[in-house]
């Protein structure tokens, strides 16, 4: 893809999908707003969020993807025309704008057709920023925890009496969809007169630097450590991108950073030195929003906080210390963006958040074995999920173990963090590593499950995905908690595994068909 489609730029205020350096045509008339857009790889979480907001804004939406997926059906029901497979013929004759991401290859036939026809091409993040217009924006960035923190912020704002727009990178059952202009917004529905003054919350993706499309009133950075080095090249370049994002905070806005994370805290220190207002949250005694105590409760967590406006009790329906920190960051960002909001109401709204899809989702319990799906695909995420699982098993009345099946995501990430993944997975009692899910990358025969397991002899490499079910079935026993981890298609194995665990075993030791 050419650089003009991959590098986000500033968005003209109050102009939907306004052009900037990200588009492929310099002569786009400033007064003209697109009426129809085509989204390549529309089934991705981020791309589908753009399509959903465009539909709710009254635009005609078409798109394509390589295969069907969870977001495509709902978009079709909302009015989008979507083809499976990539074909230049799928680009509508009346298309005004094409939306892409860095996952769209330069030789994609629909992208080539747009170039040939002179149709402007814009990056997903710039499209999202343009659709949200001048709404007071809360952006959530960081290496981990973005989706949960974004969802928590939306429910907190609703608790305080606002009706925010939102866009995030996964389905969130509490919100009904992964993007929207408001709780009741839908294609063909007239938005309230004050809709453009309601806040917006977005998950700001650092994977390709596109988060620089946003100019937030409050920016929360949950953590900052090396990841996505396939794009950024090295950690220093990634950090420079976060510094640039901090500089995008609007005058009078606030950068909110986790004081417990060295990378995020250092980001805040550098930003403060440049004159940016910074607030910190975490367990540190000098944090503006201090976590003073937390206790696991039935179905969640109770946390005691010290806030700039006084003590506050936070009740969450999700477990894990990492989720308490996510909630604290969301609270701080919402309070910074809307100073008039009552923190107690923000906290009360957040209590309804039950989690994002594939963030410690309990898929089922069969034969006494509880199976959990989780999106963890970075060593720190894997470690946090295993820690949460260990805490749950420790509270069981009977014995139990933590088992893990991990599917590495991307050859480049597996190569860069093989030892770190091994160290994180070693916290499980038993762990299996599946073949690498390459996603957007070409196969690399030098990288496989053993790139991880070679660092830790207690881990078992699997040479094919089909080996997961017999391996787990032979090892699992009542009381165990099994984690299915990864950002690839490991999720498709989970229902089959549950069905197999529930099936009787034949005399030969195999599950009955």
> Within 13 A of 242's CA, how many CA atoms are on the CB side?
31
User: Which residue, among 70, 71, 125, has the nearest Cα to 100 in the 3D structure?
Assistant: 125
- Pairing status of strand 289-297 against strand 277-282: parallel
For the chain, the first-to-last Cα distance in angstroms comes to: 47
Q: Which residues contact 455 (CB under 8 A, 6 or more apart)?
A: 418, 419, 422, 423
In the annotation, is 269 catalytic? no
Cα-Cα-Cα-Cα dihedral of 143, 148, 150, 154, to 10°?
-170
Residue 126 and residue 115: Cα distance in Å, rounded?
18
Residue 119 and residue 25: Cα distance in Å, rounded?
8
Q: Which residues contact 308 (CB under 8 A, 6 or more apart)?
A: 279, 288, 289, 335
* Per-residue b or e along 151-175, where b marks 16 or more CB atoms closer than 10 Å to that residue's CB: bbbbbbbbbbebbbbbbbbbbbeeb
At 304, is the secondary structure helix, strand, or coil?
Answer: strand
Q: List the 254-258 sheet strands across, edge first.
A: 179-180, 165-167, 200-203, 137-141, 218-221, 254-258, 277-282, 289-297, 300-307, 310-316
Kindly list the distances between the CA atom of residue 405 and the CA atoms of 190, 262, 486, in Å, as whole numbers in the listed order. Answer: 46, 29, 9
Q: Which residues contact 127 (CB under 8 A, 6 or more apart)?
A: 17, 37, 50, 54, 97, 99
Please check whether residue 164 is in contact with residue 337, taking contact to mean a CB–CB distance below 8 angstroms: no
Per DSSP, the residues of 168-218 read: -SS--TTTSSSEESSTT--TTPPPPTTGGGS-EEEE---TTSGGGG---SE
From the candidates 146, 206, 294, 494, give the one annotated as an active-site residue.
146
Kindly list the distances between the CA atom of residue 288 and the CA atoms of 67, 167, 368, 502, in Å, as whole numbers in the listed order. Answer: 46, 27, 44, 50
Within 10 Å of residue 454's Cβ, how many Cβ atoms? Answer: 14
- Which run of H or of E encompasses 392? helix 379-394
In the annotation, is 206 catalytic? no
* Per-residue b or e along 362-392, where b marks 16 or more CB atoms closer than 10 Å to that residue's CB: ebbebeebbbbbbbbbbbbbbbbbbebbeeb
Residue 383 and residue 59: Cα distance in Å, rounded?
43
> Within 13 A of 421's CA, how many CA atoms are on the CB side?
34
From the candidates 110, 203, 206, 294, give the one annotated as an active-site residue.
203
At 434, is the secondary structure helix, strand, or coil?
Answer: coil
In the annotation, is 15 catalytic? no
From the candidates 102, 143, 147, 155, give the one annotated as an active-site residue.
147
Catalytic residues: 146-147, 203
């Amino acid at each position: 893809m050419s650089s003009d489609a991959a590098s986000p730029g500033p968005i003209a205020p109050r102009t939907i999908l306004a052009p900037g350096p990200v588009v492929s045509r310099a002569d786009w008339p400033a007064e003209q707003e697109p009426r129809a857009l085509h989204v390549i790889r529309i089934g991705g979480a981020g791309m589908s969020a753009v399509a959903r907001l465009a539909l709710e804004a009254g635009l005609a939406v078409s798109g394509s993807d390589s295969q069907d997926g969870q977001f495509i059906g709902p978009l079709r029901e909302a009015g989008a025309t979507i083809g499976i497979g990539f074909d230049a013929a799928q680009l509508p004759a009346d298309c005004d704008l094409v939306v892409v991401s860095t996952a769209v290859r330069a030789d994609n036939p629909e992208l080539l057709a747009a170039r040939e026809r002179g149709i402007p091409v814009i990056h997903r993040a710039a499209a999202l920023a343009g659709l949200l217009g001048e709404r007071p924006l809360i952006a959530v960035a960081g290496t981990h925890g973005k989706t949960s923190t974004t969802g928590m912020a939306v429910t907190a704002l609703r608790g305080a009496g606002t009706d925010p727009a939102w866009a995030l990178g996964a389905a969130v059952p509490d919100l009904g969809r992964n993007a929207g202009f408001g709780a009741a917004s839908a294609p063909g529905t007239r938005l309230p007169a004050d809709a453009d003054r309601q806040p917006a919350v977005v998950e700001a993706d650092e994977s390709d630097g596109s988060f620089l499309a946003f100019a937030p009133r409050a920016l929360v950075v949950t953590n900052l450590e090396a990841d996505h080095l396939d794009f950024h090249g090295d950690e220093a370049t990634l950090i420079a991108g976060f510094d640039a994002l901090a500089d995008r905070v609007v005058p009078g806005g606030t950068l909110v950073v986790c004081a417990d994370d060295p990378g995020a805290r250092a980001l805040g220190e550098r930003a403060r030195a440049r004159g940016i207002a910074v607030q910190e949250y975490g367990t540190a005694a000098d944090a503006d929003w201090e976590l003073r105590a937390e206790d696991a409760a039935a179905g969640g967590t109770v946390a005691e906080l010290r806030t700039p406006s006084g003590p506050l009790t936070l009740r969450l329906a999700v477990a894990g210390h990492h989720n308490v920190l996510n909630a604290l960051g969301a609270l701080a960002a919402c309070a910074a963006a809307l100073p008039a909001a009552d923190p107690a109401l923000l906290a009360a709204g957040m209590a309804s958040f039950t989690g994002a899809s594939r963030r410690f989702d309990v898929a089922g319990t069969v034969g006494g074995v509880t199976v959990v799906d989780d999106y963890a695909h970075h060593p720190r995420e894997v470690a946090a999920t295993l820690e949460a699982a260990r805490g749950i098993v420790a509270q069981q009345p009977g014995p139990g173990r933590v088992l893990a099946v991990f599917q590495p995501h991307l050859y480049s990430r597996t190569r860069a963090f093989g030892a770190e993944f091994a160290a994180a997975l070693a916290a499980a009692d038993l762990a299996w590593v599946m073949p690498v899910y390459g996603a957007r990358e070409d196969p690399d025969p030098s990288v496989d499950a053993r790139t991880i397991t070679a660092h830790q002899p207690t881990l078992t490499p699997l040479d094919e995905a089909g080996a997961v079910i017999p391996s787990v079935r032979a090892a699992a026993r009542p009381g165990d908690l099994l984690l299915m981890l990864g950002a690839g298609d490991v999720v498709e194995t989970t229902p089959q595994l549950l069905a197999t665990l529930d099936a009787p075993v034949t005399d030969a030791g195999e599950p009955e068909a």
